[in-house]
Amino acid sequence: MTGWVAANLVSVLNGLAIGALLFILAVGLSLVFGMMDVLNLAHGALFLVGAYLAAALAAGGASWGTFLGALGLAAVIGLVAGGALSAMTEPLRRRSHLDQALLTLGVALIVAEVLQIVFGNDPLAVPAPPGLDGSTSVLGAAYPTYRLVLIGLGAVVAVGVYLLVERTTVGALIRATVADREMVAAVGVDNRRVKIAVFAAGSLLATVAGVLGGPVYGASVGLDSTVLILALVVVVIGGLGSVKGALVGALLIGQVESLGRALLPDLASFVLFGALALVLVLRPQGLFGHRSGAAV
């Protein structure tokens, strides 16, 4: 009995760690989506850029310097990439959702292929920084320290983003745009700069998530679409443009991914889809969504 509890404790903790990572990834996707109505399919590729960056810098041996260096570099790359994507989608503002999605899809394909050309086909491992690569005893079960730190980091980012969006003027503008884009435009607010900032910040979170996820997932071909789809499921479940929704969705999918795989290994995909389908049938706009995008 205690063994069963311990086994599941690890799964629950893993779920929390995955959830923390997914939140950092998905909240950017969700806000870009809610702010600009752009489905950014390059979001997963940005994550992969961060992961390969961490792997490349840590190739000569893991140290705090390389890890923090990777984080800093990833942040800069993310900001620049987000700004670039924002500029690229701007001319398509009046065009269809599909056009914008296709553009980001093209970018995603290019980035993923370039990464594959540079780093090869073999998966790369990313070591955790020294001091965090061991394990800590949690209620008697040994658990990787890095993942505990990841859970903490997720919580910090969640609080930070929440405060930014709920408690600041910029956040108020973001929320207003998410709720009613036409209205914000109609009252003459020029939110272009906020849009660029949100796109840049969202992309930053994606690349940073890639570095942070490195010690968990490593860096490999195809990881971009895996994380993209998880982030999308999180956003769909949580509701567009909702920070709270992204958090709840991420924690939920984290548990589904972890506990689901541990308890029902053959049915994990069904469980994921089941969770998605259940939410969509009961609340088509997502748990915390308020837009009528899914109106019947």
Partner 1 sequence: MTEVSRRVPAAPPAGADGSPPPRRLPRPGPAIAVVVVLVLAAAPLFLAPYATTTLTRMLVFGLLAVSLDLLVGITGLPSLGHAAYFGAGAYAAGWVSLHVTAAIPVPLLVGAAVGGIAAALTGWVAVRSAGVYFLMLTLAIGEVLAQLAHSWQSVTGGADGLAGIPAPALGGEPLANTGFLYWYVLAVGLVMFAAVWLLARSPFGTALRGIRDNEPRMRAVGYPTTLYKYAAFVAAGTVAGAAGSLLAAQQRLVTPADVGFTTAALVLLAVVIGGAGSLWGPVLGAAIVVLVRDALGPGLGGHGELLLGIVFVLVVYLLPRGAAGIGSLRVRRRRS
Task: Figure out which of the listed residues 57, 85, 112, 149 binds partner 1, where binding follows CB under 8 A.
Answer: 112
Classify 96 as helix, strand or coil: coil
Task: Figure out which of the listed residues 80, 259, 280, 287 binds partner 1, where binding follows CB under 8 A.
Answer: 280
Min separation Cβ 95 and partner 1, Å = 6
b/e map of 46-58 (b: 16 or more CB within 10 Å)?
A: bbbbbbbbbbbbb
Cα diameter, the chain: 63
Min separation Cβ 130 and partner 1, Å = 34
82 and 201 Cβ atoms separated by less than 8 Å: yes
Does 232 interact with partner 1 (rule: CB under 8 A)?
Answer: yes
Segment interacting with partner 1 (CB under 8 A) among 12-20, 47-55, 107-115, 199-207: 107-115
Backbone angles phi, psi at 136, to 5 degrees: -120, 145
71 and 77 Cβ atoms separated by less than 8 Å: no
Separation CA 26–CA 13 (nearest Å) = 19
Residues 158-187: x/- map of binding to partner 1 (CB under 8 A)? ------------------------x-----
Classify 63 as helix, strand or coil: coil
Number of residues counted as binding partner 1 (CB under 8 A) = 49
180 and 21 Cβ atoms separated by less than 8 Å: no
Does 293 interact with partner 1 (rule: CB under 8 A)?
Answer: yes
Interface contacts to partner 1, rule CB under 8 A = 33, 37, 39, 41, 91-92, 95-99, 101-103, 105-110, 112-114, 116-117, 182, 225, 229, 232-233, 235-236, 240, 265-266, 268-270, 272-273, 276-277, 280-281, 284, 293-296
